[in-house]
Amino acid sequence: MVERILLVTGDETLARAVVLLSPGAELLRERDGTGGVGTCERIHPDVVVWDEEVPAPTATVSRLVAAGAEVVVVVGRGGVGAGVRALRDGAEQVVMRPVEPEHLAVAMARAADVGRWRRTASQTHAYRPRTLSEVERDQIERTLRHHVGNRTRAARELGISRATLINKIRAYALDL
């Protein structure tokens, strides 16, 4: 379920559709692009439904995404180019006019799910890739243990010279 929606449109039909599709959600509305970007940066909604026909500053979708919002862009007929630009700038979904309520509901739900997943992943999975040096150090240490400290056999298995292995043992301060 979407908890907080920012709707940026001057189109009353689109506004009514979003209201009907989001029972129980906190719905905020802006009628101009500058106000929409400012509100998004201030309140951090779950989903922004952005009407592409609203006059807006440049790089609007990028700014909304940078503020942490999942963006659904509504484009007019023949707005394929605008939709592609919006997706390239980071929009989660694009809906074409005339807006079918079912399509809009699915787009908003998907955007909210993606946002929820991203927030959860960033909070629970503090993934940090290992550096090449860390991987190399661990591999050298494992190989030396496997060969019970025999540097000649370890170097042969690693595919490096014994002198290079000794230099790496010193560089990584391995104590075996």
Instruction: Note the pLDDT of residue 1.
Output: 52
How far, in Å, CA of 142 to CA of 139, rounded? 5
Dihedral, CA atoms, 13, 16, 20, 23, nearest 10 degrees? Answer: 150
Task: Report if pTM > 0.75.
Answer: no
Q: How many CB atoms lie within 10 A of CB 127?
A: 7
Q: Residue 98, preceding bond cis, omega within 30 degrees?
A: yes
Tens digit of each residue's pLDDT (9 = 90 or more) over 76-129: 877 788 888 889 988 888 999 888 888 898 989 888 888 888 777 666 655 677
Please, where in the chain does CATH 3.40.50.2300 lie? 4-124
The string of DSSP codes covering 118-159 is: HHHHHHH----PPPHHHHHHHHHHHHHHHTTT-HHHHHHHHT
Tens digit of each residue's pLDDT (9 = 90 or more) over 4-36: 899 999 889 898 888 888 888 889 899 988 888
Instruction: Note the pLDDT of residue 123.
Output: 64
The CA-atom distances, in angstroms, between 76 and each of 14, 154, 176 are: 12, 66, 68
The string of DSSP codes covering 46-74 is: SEEEEETTS---TTHHHHHHHTT-EEEEE
Residue 56 has pLDDT above 80, yes or no: no
Dihedral, CA atoms, 28, 31, 32, 35, nearest 10 degrees? Answer: -30
4-124: CATH topology is Rossmann fold (3.40.50)
Residues 6+ apart with CB under 8 A from 159: none
Tens digit of each residue's pLDDT (9 = 90 or more) over 30-55: 998 888 889 998 988 889 999 988 88
Instruction: Note the pLDDT of residue 127.
Output: 61
Please, where in the chain does CATH 1.10.10 lie? 132-171
Segment among 43-52, 56-65, 165-174 with least mean pLDDT: 56-65
Please state the rounded mean pLDDT for residues 135-160: 93
CATH class, domain 132-171, is mainly alpha
* C-beta separation of 52 from 82 below 8 A: yes
Instruction: Note the pLDDT of residue 8.
Output: 92
